[in-house]
Amino acid sequence: MSRLSIDVLPDHSLEAGKSLSITCPRAGLAFLFTLSLALRLLWWSVGPQVIESEGLYYARVAENLAQGRGYQGVRENGYQLLYPPLYPGSIALGYLCGLSSETAGRLVSFLFGVPFPIVVCLLARRLYGPAAGWASGLLAAVHPVLVVLSAAVLSESVYLTLLALALYYSSEVFSLGSRRATILAGVCLGLSYLCRPEAFLLTMVLSILTAAVHARHGSLAIARAALLLGVFLVLALPYIVFLSLHTGQVRYEAKTPDAIAYLLREDAGQDGGQIYYGIDRNLEGTGLSMISNLEMIKTARPASGQFIRLLLKQVRRNLSALNQRIAAPYLGQPFLGMLAALGCFASAWGYERLRGELPGLLVCGATLLSVLLWPYAHDRFLLPALPVLLLWAGKGLEVVRTWTLGTEVECGLGGRLASVLASSMVTIWFTLLCGVAASGVRTSDELSQSWSARLIDDKPVGQWLRPQAGRETRIMDTGPTIAYYSGACLVPYPWADSDTALRYIAKQRIDYLILRSSDQKRRPYLEEWNQFPPVDHVELVNTFEGRSGVVRVYRWRAGRQEASKSSSPGIIIRPVPNMAQPAIAGA
pLDDT in tens, 210-262: 888 776 777 888 888 999 999 999 999 999 999 999 999 999 999 999 999 99
Q: Is residue 456 part of a domain?
A: yes
169 and 210 share one domain: yes
pLDDT at residue 493, as a whole number: 97
Q: Does residue 45 fall inside a structural domain?
A: no
Kindly state whether residues 461 and 573 are assigned to the same domain: yes
In-domain check, residue 423: no
Count structural domains, the chain: 3
Please write the tens of the pLDDT for every residue from 475-529: 999 999 999 999 999 999 999 999 999 999 999 999 999 999 999 999 999 999 9
Confirm whether 138 is domain-assigned: no
Segments of the chain scoring below 70 in pLDDT: 1-24, 215, 414-415, 558-587
Task: Please tell me whether residues 466 and 574 are part of one structural domain.
Answer: yes
Alpha helices in 282-375 (DSSP H): 293-299, 304-326, 335-345, 351-373
The two beta strands, 538-546 and 489-492, are unpaired
Task: For residue 515, list its beta bridge partners.
Answer: 552
Of the residues 249, 265, 280, which one is the last residue of a structural domain?
A: 249
Domain stops at, among 206, 231, 249: 249
Confidence at residue 416, expressed as pLDDT on a 0 to 100 scale = 76
Which residues form the domain of 302? 255-316
At 59 the three-state DSSP class reads helix
- 494 and 456 co-located in one domain: yes
pLDDT of residue 410: 78
Residue 531, domain member (yes or no): yes
Q: What are phi and psi of 20, to 5 degrees?
A: -85, 130
* Cβ atoms of 163 and 192 closer than 8 Å: yes
| Separation CA 215–CA 562 (nearest Å) | 73
**pLDDT confidence of residue 476:** 97
Give the pLDDT confidence score for residue 518 in this predicted structure. Answer: 93
Residues 305, 226 share a domain: no
Domain for residue 81, yes or no? Answer: no
261 and 228 belong to one structural domain: no
Do 260 and 226 share a structural domain? Answer: no
d(CA 59, CA 39): 24
User: Is 283 found in the same domain as 205?
Assistant: no
217 and 279 in one domain? no
Same domain, 219 and 241: yes
Strands 573-575 and 538-546: parallel
Instruction: Give the model's pLDDT for residue 558.
Output: 64
Quick one: 205 and 286 in the same domain? no
Of 316, 349, 367, at which residue does a domain stop? 316
Q: What three-state secondary structure class fits 121? A: helix
Are both 241 and 271 inside the same structural domain? no
Q: Is residue 87 part of a domain?
A: no
Asked whether residue 148 is domain-assigned, the answer is no
Tell whether omega for the bond before 387 is within 30 degrees of 0, i.e. cis.
Answer: no
User: What φ, ψ does residue 544 adopt, rounded to 5°?
Assistant: -125, 135
